[in-house]
Structure 1
Amino acid sequence: PGGPGGDGGAGGLFGNGGSGGTGGGSLDGNGGAGGTGGASGLFGSGGKGGVGGVSAHQVGGNGGAGGSGGLIGAGGAGGDGGQADDTVGGAGGAGGKGGVLYGSGGLGGTGGNGGQDGGIGGAGGTGGLFGDGGFGGEGGTGLTADGGVGGTGGAGGLFGDGGTGGDGGTGGANGGAGGTGGRSGLLYGAGGAGGDGGNGQPANGGAGGAGGASGLFGDGGHGGDVGVGHLAGGLGGAGGAGGMLAGSGGDGGDGGVAGKDGGAGGAGGDAGIVLGNGGAGGSGGWGGFSAAGIGGAGGVGGNAGLIGNGGNGGAGGLANAPGSIGGNGGAGGDAWLIGNGGNGGNSGATAGSSAGAGGAGGRLIGEDGADGST
């Protein structure tokens, strides 16, 4: 196997951490791991993790983790996973943690490309006390098999947004799933969006990642949309929940388009307990492009808080080929005390599918949502 890359040195009082070294390559063994990025000084950014080593016939080396920020400073990005010509690409390194007081988490490294499967994307780093989580790294491309899964977005600090999940990699068979969005700060901030699923040819598209939940106050993240599939489209990611006290739920991601069966839309996230609207359900993906199939079902709308409107249900996907069936529409979310119920989603425009029912209106003030049409 290839040897590991050296770790980056720590920064001085006002200096950035050094980058990790690249892992050694190998012909018949695994690629070496990239070195860890160095931590910064009191004021400075963490060093970038080293890139994983390349392997001709075995697994690519994993990328090194990014270094942490100091008191004030961003975390370093994780190193990318090493390429593998014949097998599985290396995983991307995790992003470094943001500075203790202030600083965003580092970006996760991209998974290495593989002759079979793509490598997993690295997780985004956690934000500091006042800082956003880092984005998750993208999954690597899988030449003949599955794309790599996207990395999870990093969590926000006490005040900060969660990082967006990484997109899934493209697959020679199935697309990789998108990474989950990071949760927001414990007190305030929005959840990160889920990553999009990768495209899959000739099989299935990858599922979208779920949106991250919020803390006490803030909106949930949008669920990831999904990749195109030759057979089946992937499922849209669910929207993240709103803050525990106040905040709207995130919208669900849309289902993937496919030659046969479209993917279902993701459910909308529920709102916070006191105040907020439910997230809208994602639309179902279109199906029946190359063979008779089924359109994806629309996602269910999220429920509202004590005060707020329910989310609308997603529309069912269309289905083109003769003999296909359109997708069912998603039901609208319910209001609780004051607010209107969400409208139900329309069904796909072919026989055999049903529309979504409208959500219930508020018990004190509000109207029921309208049913979808067929």
Structure 2
Amino acid sequence: MSFVIAAPEVLSAAAADLNAIGTALSTGTAAAVPAMTGIVAAAQDEVSLALTTLFEQHAHDYQTVATQAALVRDQFVGALSSAGRAYAVAEAANYSPLQVFEQRALAVVNAPTLALLGRPLIGNGANATTPGGNGGAGGLLIGNGGNGANGGAGQAGGAGGAAGLIGRGGAGGAGGAGGAAGGAGGAAGLLMGAGGMGGSGGIGANNPVGVGGTGGTGGAGGAGGWFSNGGAGGAGGMGGQGGVGFDGPVNQQGGIGGTGGTGGAGGAGGKAPLLWGHGGAGGQGGSGGIGGTGGNGGDGSTPGIGGTGGTGGVAGHGGAGGAGQLFTAAGQAGAAGAGGTGGLGGNGGNGAQGSSGGAGTATTGGMGIAGGQGGQGGTGGAALDGGVAGDGGNGGNGGTGGIGGAGGTGLVGGSNGGNGGNGGTGGAPGLAGLSGGFGGHAGNAGLGGKGGTGGQGGAASAAPDAAPGTGHAGANGYQGGTGGTGGSGGGVGGDGGNGGAGGAGGTGGTGAAGSSTVSRGAGGDGGMGGAGGQAGLAGGAGGANGLGGQGGQGGQGGQGGTGAAGTDSSSSPTAGSEGGQGGVGGHGGAGGAGVDGKGGGQGGTGGIGGQGGDGGRGGNNTGTSAGGGASGGKGGTGGTAGIAGAGTDGGTAGSNGTGGTGGTGGTGGQGGTGAAGTDSSSSPNPGDPGGQGGDGGTGGTGGAGIGGHGGGAGGRGGVGGQ
């Protein structure tokens, strides 16, 4: 019996299985009762009745035995369950005194060492709970050291507790933010275990106005024992980010971004054991901080260049490997950290808006100022031996060119409207990052300023109605302003930026209204579209040149004036004057040219020619003998297609622009109303017939150049008089 064991959980499981088996048997027996006890005799003779009675008697006997067997089974299952519960109660009663005895015995054993040395003889050290607290030491004979707590902001991490004769040293806590050092790992047990790992250094403080803070140093690994390895050193903290450069004042350059902080050094590995094993590995150096973003260039008439991005921080040194002992090898040194990424270049300043032309004798509107150049990307952080250099920062975006001023309004009497001001040139993008990692991408070129709106032609003065005659021509509207030139592409390093799109040409001025003696003036010509921006400078290693900007779209020609109405004369009515001719559509801008470099940039696409203006409406005749309506004005000629940009040194020439659509001819004048018949009873006269409607204006000629469309549709004929 000394080899007999009993487990309470096994006894409980066996009792449950037996109970399930008994339940299944009882269910089957109950289901068979009707079939066994309800047998019908085959006939009414004595033999049949005797056999039926015999079978029924056997069935009743079986039911009695099954009932007794179920009672025995239930009693056995109950006894088995009671035995399991009894064993469980006995084990619990026996365990509690043993546990109490163990605790009391250890308390007695550990009391002298706790009183003398502050650590138990057997047991693990306590983990620190307060920020920056140290872990408790393990038992002198057996026990692991407690882990140190992480430090708060600017506070070093706590050190790990040392192990006893057998055990593992506690891990050091991580340093707090602001460049605090990590805690050291606890020492390993002399006979067995390993040194604790050092805590990682805290991240350097971010400086909003200057150089970023240095990352914290990693904690040293715990020393090994006689046969236990040293612990690994903690990783150095990342350097803080440099400050943002100040925004430049009016017409001044933006400030340089602050340099990123230096990465923290990795912690040294724990010393190697005396007889067997190796030293701990050194911690990896921290990465350099990110350089600050350069300030934005100031706005104004000569907008400032965006500030240069800050230099990335220097990488941290790797930690030294743990020193070897008499029969053991030193640990492996830690790798240096990566250099910090250079800051982004500031955006170039925005150009000032052009002035408006003066009223009266029209003045040409002022030219918009060119946008400022984007700032240069920051230099990547320097790499130490074995480290990786940081990437250069991206160049800033070029400033937006100013809007050209509006042309002045002409005086009454036919002064010409002023030309709209030219749009400002888009700012050049920032240069790429300097050496030390991959060059930054060039900034996007600024958009060319929008050409100013052409001045409106002056209204023709009225003449006396003494004698009907042909009206004099109203003054022509001036041409819309030339669209601004697109910005240059990006600099060396990375892909060059795309040239900016040329500004749209201004809309031609509307011709003056004719009087009874003055015919309508022709609408002004649409402005010429701006030339596309120049492609970017040569790319760095592997970089491709940017594409030339697309030429601006030519301005729409001005609409011809409405012809003057015919004179009211019963004897010789005159026809309405002819509508003014639509203005010529603006020429499309030339595509940008590619620049020297590896694989020259593709020339920009020529701008689309402007649409010719609509012809003027013929005047109405209101005489008694109706005159014919005047012919509609001739549609304006479509603008000439832009010239394709030329590629250089391997660059592909751009495609030619599409010629402008010819203007629609003017609508013919409405015929005059016939005179009423005379009131005579003897010989009444019939009324005069209405005047003939004027001819529709001739459609404008399609713009010249490759791919030009045909002339515009002819004008609609005038409506006959009543």
Query: What is the TM-score of this pair, normalised by structure 1?
Result: 0.57
User: Which residue is 1:50 aligned to?
Assistant: none
Q: Give the counterpart letter for 1:206 in structure 2.
A: G
Change (3 A) 1:273 1:286: same
The answer to whether the 8 Å contact 1:285/1:318 transfers is no
Alignment of 1:46-65 (within 5 A): 59=208
CA-CA distance at 1:177 after TM superposition: 1.6
User: Which residue is 1:244 aligned to?
Assistant: 453
Which residue of the other structure, out of 308, 314, 322, is the alignment partner of 1:170? 308
Q: In the TM superposition, what whole-angstrom CA distance separates every residue of 1:223-279 from its partner, at most 9, and x where no partner exists?
A: 111222123222221210111223111101110122231111111111101132211
The CA distance in 2 between the partners of 1:182 and 1:86, in whole Å, is 36
User: Which residue is 1:118 aligned to?
Assistant: 245
Q: Give the counterpart letter for 1:194 in structure 2.
A: G
Q: In the TM superposition, what whole-angstrom CA distance separates every residue of 1:71-91 from its partner, at most 9, and x where no partner exists?
A: xxxxxxxxxxxxx4559xxxx
Q: In the TM superposition, what whole-angstrom CA distance separates every residue of 1:290-327 from its partner, at most 9, and x where no partner exists?
A: x213211110111111343211111245542xxxx543
* 1:249 match: secondary structure: coil
Which residue of the other structure, out of 345, 348, 371, is the alignment partner of 1:194? 371
User: Which residue is 2:676 aligned to?
Assistant: none
Alignment of 1:25-104 (within 5 A): 59=208, 84=210, 86=212
Q: In the TM superposition, what whole-angstrom CA distance separates every residue of 1:140-185 from its partner, at most 9, and x where no partner exists?
A: 11143322111333xxxxxxxxx23321112233322212212223
The CA distance in 1 between the partners of 2:487 and 2:602, in whole Å, is 16
User: Which residue is 1:234 aligned to?
Assistant: 443
| Aligned-CA RMSD value | 2.8
The CA distance in 2 between the partners of 1:227 and 1:59, in whole Å, is 23
CA-CA distance at 1:186 after TM superposition: 4.8
Change (3 A) 1:59 1:293: closer
* 1:213 match: secondary structure: coil
User: Which residue is 1:314 aligned to?
Assistant: 592
Q: Give the counterpart letter for 2:645 in structure 1.
A: G
The answer to whether the 8 Å contact 2:535/2:545 transfers is yes
Q: Give the counterpart letter for 1:358 in structure 2.
A: N
Which residue of the other structure, out of 608, 621, 625, is the alignment partner of 1:334? 608
The answer to whether the 8 Å contact 2:491/2:539 transfers is no
Which residue of the other structure, out of 476, 489, 506, is the alignment partner of 1:255? 489
Change (3 A) 1:286 1:191: closer
Change (3 A) 1:301 1:308: same
Q: In the TM superposition, what whole-angstrom CA distance separates every residue of 1:311-355 from its partner, at most 9, and x where no partner exists?
A: 1111245542xxxx54332111122135422112234644xx753
Alignment of 1:223-302 (within 5 A): 223-229=426-432, 230-245=439-454, 246-274=480-508, 275-289=526-540, 291-302=541-552
The CA distance in 1 between the partners of 2:593 and 2:647, in whole Å, is 6
The CA distance in 2 between the partners of 1:199 and 1:192, in whole Å, is 21
Larger Rg: 2
The CA distance in 2 between the partners of 1:314 and 1:226, in whole Å, is 16
User: Which residue is 1:205 aligned to?
Assistant: 395
Alignment of 1:11-26 (within 5 A): none
Q: Give the counterpart letter for 2:366 in structure 1.
A: G
Which residue of the other structure, out of 287, 297, 301, is the alignment partner of 1:150? 297
* 1:180 match: secondary structure: coil
Change (3 A) 1:225 1:369: farther
The CA distance in 1 between the partners of 2:295 and 2:593, in whole Å, is 29
Greater relative contact order structure (CA < 8 Å, 6+ sep): 1
Change (3 A) 1:317 1:204: farther
The answer to whether the 8 Å contact 1:211/1:221 transfers is yes
The answer to whether the 8 Å contact 2:208/2:244 transfers is no
The CA distance in 2 between the partners of 1:116 and 1:367, in whole Å, is 56
* 1:251 match: secondary structure: coil
The answer to whether the 8 Å contact 1:191/1:212 transfers is yes
Q: Give the counterpart letter for 1:247 in structure 2.
A: G
The CA distance in 1 between the partners of 2:705 and 2:347, in whole Å, is 36
Q: Give the counterpart letter for 2:644 in structure 1.
A: G
The CA distance in 1 between the partners of 2:532 and 2:293, in whole Å, is 28
The CA distance in 2 between the partners of 1:369 and 1:273, in whole Å, is 24
Change (3 A) 1:267 1:142: same
The answer to whether the 8 Å contact 2:532/2:550 transfers is yes
The answer to whether the 8 Å contact 2:296/2:348 transfers is yes
CA-CA distance at 1:368 after TM superposition: 2.0
Q: Give the counterpart letter for 2:606 in structure 1.
A: G
User: Which residue is 1:140 aligned to?
Assistant: 255
Alignment of 1:1-12 (within 5 A): none
Change (3 A) 1:58 1:261: closer
User: Which residue is 2:656 aligned to?
Assistant: 358
Which residue of the other structure, out of 406, 409, 422, is the alignment partner of 1:219? 422
Query: What is the TM-score of this pair, normalised by structure 2?
Result: 0.31
Change (3 A) 1:264 1:223: same
Q: Taking every aligned residue pair, what percent have the same amino acid on both sides?
A: 44
Q: Give the counterpart letter for 1:225 in structure 2.
A: A
The answer to whether the 8 Å contact 1:193/1:224 transfers is yes
Q: Give the counterpart letter for 1:341 in structure 2.
A: A
The answer to whether the 8 Å contact 2:207/2:243 transfers is no
